[in-house]
Structure 1
Amino acid sequence: MCGIVGIFDITEKRDINKDVLSQMNEIQQHRGPNEGGLYLEPGLGFGHRRLSIIDVDNGQQPMISRDKNAILTYNGEVYNFLALRQELESLGYEFDTHCDTEVILYAWQAWGESCVNKLRGMFAFALWDKDRQCLFLARDRLGVKPLFYTELANGQFIFGSELKALTQHPALVKAIDPTAVEDYFGFGYIPDPKTIYKNVYKLEPGYCLTITQGSLHYQPRQYWDVNFTTRLMQDERASADELIERLREAVKIRMVADVPLGAFLSGGVDSSAIVAMMSGLSPEPVNTCSIAFGDPAFNEAKFAAQVARRYQTNHRVEQVNPDDFSLLDQLAGLYDEPFADSSALPTYRVCELAKKQVTVVLSGDGGDENLAGYRRHRWHVYEERVRSNLPYALRKPVFGLLGQMYPKADWAPKMFRAKSTFESLARDSVEGYFHSVSVMSNQMRGLLFSEQLKTDLQGYQAIDVFRKHMIKAPTDNALSMVQYLDLKTYLPGDILTKVDRASMAHGLEVRVPLLDHQLVEWIAGLQPKAKLNGSEGKYIFKKSLEKYLSDDILYRPKMGFAVPLNAWFKGPLKTKVKEALLGERILNCGLFNQTFLKQMLDHHERGLRDYSSPMWSLLMFDAFLHNVS
C-alpha cells in the first residue's frame, strides 16, 4: 500500500518543479513510510511513497520498464499477479522483480488500456507511455483505493492518492464547490467524482482516464460495472456451499504477504466470517484485534472474544475511553474535506491497535452492501410494497399529511417513530431511499443554508447523485436498485474512504475479501430473496456460515460501529460544539443561517429533538475550515 502523486504538462513539455513534486509526495509519507522516489522528465513528474508488502527488497517506484518506454507509479495490490506474470512471460516479457508492480507495467505494454480488465485487486495507478505520448490513470472496480486529480489553469494535470497532495501545488485554486456542500450535508460525505473544491475530482471506481500529450479534451471512461442480472436459482444448500468456497478463495489470495498479517475482528458477521476462513487456511494462529466501548449499547467485544476463543486467535483488545476526544481536530487533517461518519474515531483507534501487531489486515467491509445487511434495505423493500399498491397521486397527499402531523419522536421507542416512515412513503422510490440515508432532510438543509448558498446551488439537490446512478442501474428490482446505489455512493464515499485514511495514517494495509470483484459479481447474480429473506438480511451468507459461527454471532441484531454523539453533545462536548457552530469560521464562511444554528443547539440541549448527526456534520465542517485556514 502506498501513496502516489504526479504532475503532467498537457500542453507543453516544460520542466517540472522538483521541489513542488517532492512536497506533494512527502505530505503523503504516512501512506508509505518505508521509502520514497521521484521520476522526472520534461513535461512529467511522478512521485511515490512505499509501504513494502511483497518483494520488500525490490519493487521500488516509480518503476521503469526494461525498454525505458513505460513508467509507473502505483498504489495497491494485484492478487492474481503471479498468474498474469506467467501469461506475460509466455508472450516474451522478462521480469527483474517478484512484485505486482512490474506485472502492471508489462500488462500495459501487452494489452494497453484493457490491462485493467485483467487485474484482480485494489489499485490506483498512473502510467506514462513515451511511444504513445499518453498518461493513463486507473482506479479499481469498487473504489478501495483513492485517486484525486485536476487540471490547473497553467495547463498542468496533477494527481495524488489524497487531496492534501494536490493542495501542495501553489497553482491549485481552493474554491469551495456549493454543490459539494449540499452533497455533504445530504450524505455526510462528498460522493465521487466531486471533492469539496471546484474542478478537483476523484476518479470514480471502475473508471480509467487517458490523456494524450497536447490533447485539450479527455473524459474518464468506465471499464467495469456490477450487473444484477439474476441466474437461475440454485438449491439453497448448493448456493451456500459455493458462497463459502468463493469466500475462502477470496480470503486465501489476500493472505499473501512478506510482512506480518492479521484481521480486524469486531464480533459482527462479516469480520467473524473472514477470521473463520483465515483460521482454516493458516497453519499459525491468526492475529486479530478489536476495540471495546464502555457503553454496552456500542460494545461488541464479548462477541469478538467468542470468535477469538473458537478459532484460538492471537487476540488483542483495547478499550476506547468514551471521553477521548483528542482525535476530533486530527480528523480534518486525515480526510482533507468534510467527512461526517463518526465511526471514523473508533476506526482510527482499531487501525492504531492493529499496527502494533501487523502490517496487513483483512477486514469484513462490503458485506452489508453486497448482501443487503442494512436495516434500511429491509425498510425500503417494505415501503416499496406499499408504494406499489397505492398510486403516487394518493400516497403523496395522504402520507405527506401524516408525516407533517406526526411528532418527531427521537426519544420514543423505534416502533413509535412513524414520522420518517410516513415522510418516506409520500415520496417516490429514490426520494424515499435518499430520505432514509440522508444526514439532513431537504427541509432541514433549507433551514440551515444561507440565502446566498441556496442561490449558488441554482436548484441543485443532493438527491441528483442518486438519480444520475439510477439512470445507469442494471436492474429494476427494488432491493438490487438500492444495493447498486450503495455500491456507487456509500461504499466508496464513506466506508472505504474512512478505512483507507484511518489505516494509511498508521502505515497499515487493509484488504477486503468481500469486495473481490469476482465475488461481488457472483453475489449480485443471486436472487434478491437469497440476500433479504423476509426480515433476515444476508440470508444465504448466514446460512452458509452456520457451521463456522454460532447463532448469537449470526442472528443477533446489527450493532454498527458508532459513538454516543447524543450523550457527548449534552455533556463533555457541549461547549466545544457550541463554540464551533456559533464561532467565527462558520459565521464568516457565509454558508449557514445563524438563526437556525442557534435554534438547533437550543432544541438539542433541551431534549426537544436529537440533532446529533447534523451537529456532528457541522462540527466536522468547522474542523475542515480550520484545517485549510
Structure 2
Amino acid sequence: MCGIVGLFDTRGNNEIDRQQLERMNQAQLHRGPDEGEVYIEPGLGLGHRRLSIMDVASGQQPLFNEDGSVVVVFNGEIYNYQTLAKQLIDSGHQFRTHCDTEVIVHAWEEWGEQCVNHFRGMFAFGLWDRNQETLFLARDRLGIKPLYYALLDNGQFVFSSELKAIIAHPALRREMDPCAIEDYFAYGYIPEPKTIFKQASKLSPGYYLKIQRGQMQIQPQKYWDVPFKQQDVMDTSEAQEALIAKLRESVDIHLMTEVPLGAFLSGGVDSSAVVAMMSGIMHEPVNTCSISFGDPAFNESRYAQEVADRYHTNHHVEQVEHDDFDLIDKLALLYDEPFADSSALPTYRVCELARQRVTVVLSGDGGDENLAGYRRYRWHMYEEKLRSIMPLSLRKPLFGLLGNAYPKADWAPRMFRAKATFESLARDSVEGYFHSVSIMSDKMRQRLFTSSFRNDLHEYQAVNVLRNYAQQCPVDDPLSRVQYLDMKTYLVGDILTKVDRASMAHALEVRVPLLDHELVEWISTVPASLKLKDGEGKYIFKKALEPYLSDNILYRNKMGFSVPLADWFRGPLRQRVRDAILGPVLAETGIFNRAYLEEMVDHHQSGKRDYSAPLWTLLMFESFIRNIVKGEGQFVYEKKQVA
C-alpha cells in the first residue's frame, strides 16, 4: 500500500523539476511513511511513498527491469505474484527481489498492455518504457486503489494516487466542473471519471491508459467488466458449497503479508463472514476491531462481540461519542474534493483503532453490491413489478399527480413514505433508481442552484451517469442492472474511496476479499433469484453461512454504519451549520440559492423536516471550499474570483 506520482512531458524531453516532483510526492506522505524516492530522466519523473507490506527489505520503488529500460511505481497488492513470477522466470526473465512490484515490469515486457489481464489483486500503477517512449497507467478491475491524472496546458501529464498531489502542481487550472457539482449534490460524491476540477480526471476501474511521447490525446481503454452471464438454472446446495469454497480461497490469498494483520468486524453479515473464514485458515487468533456508538439506534457492537466470542478473536472496541464531529474539516483535507458520506467519520475512527495493533486489515466491503444486500434493491424490484404492469405513458401522469399530492413523511417507515414511491413510479427504471439513491432530488437541486449556475450546466443532469452505465450493462435482468450500476458508481465513488482515504490517513492497508475479481465474476453468474428471494437480500450467501454464523447475525435488520446527523444539526452543531451554510463561503461561489439554503436550515432545526443528508452535503462542500480551495490560494469558478 503506497502513494505514487508522476510527471511526463508529452511534447519532448524537457527537464523535470525535481523539487516540484518531491513536493507532489510529499503531499502523499501519509500513504507511505516508511520510505520515499523519486526517479528522474529527460522528460519523465516518478515518485513513490512506501508502506512496507511485502519484501520489506528489498521492495523499494521506483523499481526497474534488468537493464533499467522499464520502471514502475505501484500502489496495491498482486496476490498471484508468486505464480506469475515462476511463469516469467521460466520465460527467461530475471528477478532481483521477492516483491510483487517486480512482477509488473516483467509482465509488461512479456505481454505488453495485456499484462493487466494476468494480475489478480488491487492495484494502480504507472510504468515507463524508455525504448518505446511509452507511459502506461492501469487501475484494478473494481477500483479498490485510486488513480488520478491531468494533462496540463504546458504539455505535462501528471498522475497520482490522490488528487492533492496533482493540486500541488501550480500549472493545474483550479476551475470547478459544473457537471461534477451537479453530480455531487445528487450522489454525495463525484462519480468516475470526473473530479471536481475540469482539468483532472480519475482513471476508471478496469481501464488502462497508454501515452506515447508526442501524443496529445488521452483515451483510456477498458480491459475488464463484470460479466453478469447468469446461469438459468443453478443447484442451490451446490451453489452454497461453491460460494463458501471460493470465499475461503479469496480470503486465504488476501492473508499474505510480512506485517501484523487483522480484520474489521462490524457485526454485519459480510465482515462476520470474512472473520469466520480467517479463523478457519489462520493458526493464531484473528485481531478484530469495531466501533460502538453511544446511541443504541446506531450501535452494532453486541453483534460484533458475538462473532468475536464465537471465533475467539483478539477483539478491540472503541466507542464513538455522539459529539464526535471534530473531524469535519479533516475529512475535507483527506478527500481533496467534496465527499458527503457521513460514515467517513466512524470509518476514520475504526482505521485509527486498527492501526494501533496491525498494518493490514481485511474488510467485508463489496458484499451488498455483489449479492444484492441493500434494502433499496428490494424496493426497486417491487417498483419494477408495477412498472411492468403499466406503461410509462400511463404511469407518469398518474403517479406524478399522486407524488405531488402526497405529503412528505421523512419520519415514517419506508413502507409509509408513499410520496417517494409515487415519484419513483412516475419514472422509467433507471430514473426511478436514480431518484431512490439521490441525496437531493431533481426538484431540490433545481431549487438549490442559482439560475446562472443552472445555465452553466447546459441541461446536463446527474441521472446521465446511471443512464450511460445502464447502456453498457451486459444483462437485462432488473436486479442485476442496478447491482451493475452500483458497482460502477456507489461502490467505487463512495465505499472504496471512503475506506482508502480513511485507512491511508493512518498508513493502514485495507484488503477486500469479497471484491476479488474471480469471486465477483463467479457471483455474477448466480441467478438473481438466489440473491434476492422472498424479500431477503444475500439469500444464497446467508444460507451458505448458516453453519458459520447465527441467525441473529444473518437475518437481523441491516443497520449500516451511520451517525446521528439529524440530532447533531438540531443540537451541538446547530450554530455551526447555520454559520457554514448561510455564511460567506458558499455565497461567494455564486452557485447556491440563499433562500432555499435558509429554508432547509430553518425547517430542519425546527423539526418540520429532516434535511440532515442535504445539510451534511452542503457542510462538506463548504469545508472543501474553505480548506482545499482557499487553503491552496486563489480559486476560480468560471469568471468568478473567490479570494
Band the TM-score falls in, shorter-chain normalisation: over 0.9
In 2, Cα distance between equivalents of 1:352 and 1:413: 34
Matched, 1:616 2:635: no
**Other-structure match for 2:217:** 217
**Other-structure match for 2:440:** 440
**Other-structure match for 1:535:** 535
State the SS of the aligned residue for 2:468: helix
Q: Per-residue deviation at 1:606?
A: 1.6
Opposite residue 395 of structure 1, the aligned amino acid is R
Q: Per-residue deviation at 1:103?
A: 0.6
**Other-structure match for 1:44:** 44
Structure 1 stretches of 4+ with a deviation exceeding 6 A read none
In 2, Cα distance between equivalents of 1:67 and 1:437: 52
In 2, Cα distance between equivalents of 1:396 and 1:548: 47
**Other-structure match for 1:169:** 169
Matched, 1:91 2:112: no
**Other-structure match for 1:124:** 124
In 2, Cα distance between equivalents of 1:233 and 1:355: 45
In 1, Cα distance between equivalents of 2:515 and 2:234: 22
In 2, Cα distance between equivalents of 1:432 and 1:57: 53
1:508-519 matched pairs, under 5 angstroms: 508-519=508-519
**Other-structure match for 2:581:** 581
**Other-structure match for 1:351:** 351
Evaluate the alpha carbon distance shift between residue 234 and residue 412 of structure 1 in structure 2; reply closer, same or farther with a 3 A threshold: closer
In 2, Cα distance between equivalents of 1:43 and 1:147: 21
**Other-structure match for 2:557:** 557
In 1, Cα distance between equivalents of 2:64 and 2:23: 22
CA deviations 1:572-625 (Å, max 9, x no partner) are 001001000011100001100001101111111122211000000000000000
In 2, Cα distance between equivalents of 1:99 and 1:74: 11
Equivalent pair of 2:21/2:45 in contact (CA under 8 Å): yes
In 2, Cα distance between equivalents of 1:214 and 1:474: 36
Q: Per-residue deviation at 1:280?
A: 0.2
State the SS of the aligned residue for 2:74: strand
In 2, Cα distance between equivalents of 1:232 and 1:476: 13
In 2, Cα distance between equivalents of 1:324 and 1:142: 32
1:456-471 matched pairs, under 5 angstroms: 456-471=456-471
Question: Which ranges in structure 1 are unaligned for 5 or more consecutive residues?
Answer: none
In 2, Cα distance between equivalents of 1:444 and 1:401: 18
Q: Per-residue deviation at 1:325?
A: 1.4
CA deviations 1:46-94 (Å, max 9, x no partner) are 0000000010011100111111110100000000000000100110111
In 1, Cα distance between equivalents of 2:163 and 2:144: 16
1:76-87 matched pairs, under 5 angstroms: 76-87=76-87
In 2, Cα distance between equivalents of 1:314 and 1:105: 39
**Other-structure match for 1:318:** 318
Opposite residue 469 of structure 2, the aligned amino acid is H
In 1, Cα distance between equivalents of 2:575 and 2:294: 23
In 1, Cα distance between equivalents of 2:620 and 2:39: 36
**Other-structure match for 1:197:** 197
| Identical pairs, percent | 63
In 2, Cα distance between equivalents of 1:401 and 1:232: 39
Q: Per-residue deviation at 1:534?
A: 1.7
State the SS of the aligned residue for 1:211: strand
**Other-structure match for 1:30:** 30
**Other-structure match for 1:59:** 59
CA deviations 1:496-522 (Å, max 9, x no partner) are 000000000000000000000000000
In 1, Cα distance between equivalents of 2:169 and 2:154: 12
In 2, Cα distance between equivalents of 1:369 and 1:430: 17
Q: Per-residue deviation at 1:216?
A: 2.0
**Other-structure match for 1:335:** 335
Matched, 1:390 2:382: no
Q: RMSD across aligned C-alpha pairs, in angstroms?
A: 0.6
State the SS of the aligned residue for 1:415: helix
Opposite residue 204 of structure 2, the aligned amino acid is E
**Other-structure match for 1:473:** 473
Equivalent pair of 2:136/2:208 in contact (CA under 8 Å): yes
Question: Which ranges in structure 2 are unaligned for 5 or more consecutive residues?
Answer: 631-643
Q: Per-residue deviation at 1:324?
A: 1.5
In 1, Cα distance between equivalents of 2:60 and 2:452: 50
1:186-335 matched pairs, under 5 angstroms: 186-335=186-335
Q: Per-residue deviation at 1:527?
A: 0.4
CA deviations 1:342-376 (Å, max 9, x no partner) are 00000000000000110000000000000000001
In 1, Cα distance between equivalents of 2:379 and 2:360: 36
State the SS of the aligned residue for 1:73: strand
Matched, 1:401 2:406: no
**Other-structure match for 1:418:** 418
State the SS of the aligned residue for 1:157: strand
State the SS of the aligned residue for 2:225: coil
Matched, 1:148 2:148: yes
Aligned positions, number: 629
- Larger mean Cα displacement after TM superposition, 111-120 or 225-234: 225-234
Q: Per-residue deviation at 1:413?
A: 3.4
Equivalent pair of 2:172/2:199 in contact (CA under 8 Å): no
Equivalent pair of 2:124/2:137 in contact (CA under 8 Å): yes
State the SS of the aligned residue for 1:553: helix
Equivalent pair of 2:16/2:45 in contact (CA under 8 Å): yes
Q: Which TM-score applies when normalising by structure 2?
A: 0.97
In 2, Cα distance between equivalents of 1:597 and 1:91: 64
**Other-structure match for 1:113:** 113
**Other-structure match for 2:634:** none
In 2, Cα distance between equivalents of 1:624 and 1:597: 17
CA deviations 1:250-279 (Å, max 9, x no partner) are 000000100000000000000000000000
State the SS of the aligned residue for 1:461: coil
**Other-structure match for 1:449:** 449
Q: Per-residue deviation at 1:232?
A: 4.3
State the SS of the aligned residue for 1:609: coil
In 2, Cα distance between equivalents of 1:296 and 1:423: 32
Opposite residue 345 of structure 2, the aligned amino acid is L
- Larger mean Cα displacement after TM superposition, 408-417 or 64-73: 408-417
Equivalent pair of 2:435/2:441 in contact (CA under 8 Å): yes
In 2, Cα distance between equivalents of 1:468 and 1:549: 39
In 1, Cα distance between equivalents of 2:276 and 2:92: 41
In 1, Cα distance between equivalents of 2:605 and 2:172: 41
Opposite residue 42 of structure 1, the aligned amino acid is P
**Other-structure match for 2:498:** 498
Matched, 1:605 2:609: no
In 2, Cα distance between equivalents of 1:380 and 1:410: 19
Opposite residue 407 of structure 2, the aligned amino acid is P
In 2, Cα distance between equivalents of 1:415 and 1:497: 31
Opposite residue 255 of structure 2, the aligned amino acid is M
Q: Per-residue deviation at 1:411?
A: 2.0
State the SS of the aligned residue for 2:216: coil
**Other-structure match for 1:568:** 568
Opposite residue 213 of structure 1, the aligned amino acid is R
Q: Per-residue deviation at 1:485?
A: 0.2
In 1, Cα distance between equivalents of 2:232 and 2:530: 12
In 1, Cα distance between equivalents of 2:471 and 2:406: 34
Q: Per-residue deviation at 1:410?
A: 1.1
In 1, Cα distance between equivalents of 2:180 and 2:165: 20
In 2, Cα distance between equivalents of 1:207 and 1:413: 41
In 1, Cα distance between equivalents of 2:567 and 2:364: 29
- Larger mean Cα displacement after TM superposition, 311-320 or 408-417: 408-417
In 2, Cα distance between equivalents of 1:189 and 1:459: 20
CA deviations 1:372-401 (Å, max 9, x no partner) are 000011111110010000011111111111
Opposite residue 145 of structure 1, the aligned amino acid is K
Opposite residue 143 of structure 1, the aligned amino acid is G
Equivalent pair of 2:234/2:527 in contact (CA under 8 Å): no
In 1, Cα distance between equivalents of 2:231 and 2:109: 36
**Other-structure match for 1:364:** 364
Q: Per-residue deviation at 1:571?
A: 0.4
CA deviations 1:303-328 (Å, max 9, x no partner) are 00000000000000010111121101
